[in-house]
Amino acid sequence: MHTTGFASPARDFEERELNLHSLLVNNPSSTFFMKAEGENCPDLAVNPGDILVVDRGIEPKGEDIIISSNSGELILSSYKGPSGKKGQDTHAGPVWGVVTWIIHKTR
């Protein structure tokens, strides 16, 4: 194939295929996708059926939304800071992971 002339000036603006995995996952070996079940959590902006992207490799800080383990059950809550033990929330058991993204279905 032979080409003639100049390359299109729009070539630099071509859209690349969107890859959600590369957008949502910073640490592939420690990141999990979970589906929210149970009651609505309006304080956390999480609804049943939402997909949660959870990274187990980062430390929670501030008011992060976390998954904690309580009697073998995973609980969604807001991180309130350490309660004397590293990685333990003040209202739940040990921190299992930090929610980095929440994917809502709109219809």
For the domain that residue 85 is a member of, what is the CATH number?
2.10.109.10
Query: For residue range 40-89, what is the model confidence (pLDDT) as tens digits?
Result: 788 888 999 999 999 999 999 998 999 998 888 899 999 987 654 544 44
Range(s) of the domain holding residue 41: 20-103
User: Is residue 3 situated within a structural domain?
Assistant: no
User: Is residue 14 situated within a structural domain?
Assistant: no
Q: What pLDDT is attached to residue 4?
A: 63
Dihedral angle at the C-alpha atoms of 21, 37, 106, 97, nearest 10 degrees?
-40
User: Is residue 69 situated within a structural domain?
Assistant: yes
User: Is residue 4 situated within a structural domain?
Assistant: no
User: Is residue 76 situated within a structural domain?
Assistant: yes
User: Is residue 8 situated within a structural domain?
Assistant: no
Number of domains in the chain: 1
Q: What pLDDT is attached to residue 92?
A: 60
Q: What pLDDT is attached to residue 5?
A: 65
Mean residue pLDDT of the chain comes to 84
pTM of the model: 0.74
d(CA 8, CA 74): 53
- pLDDT-based confidence at 99, cuts 50/70/90? very high
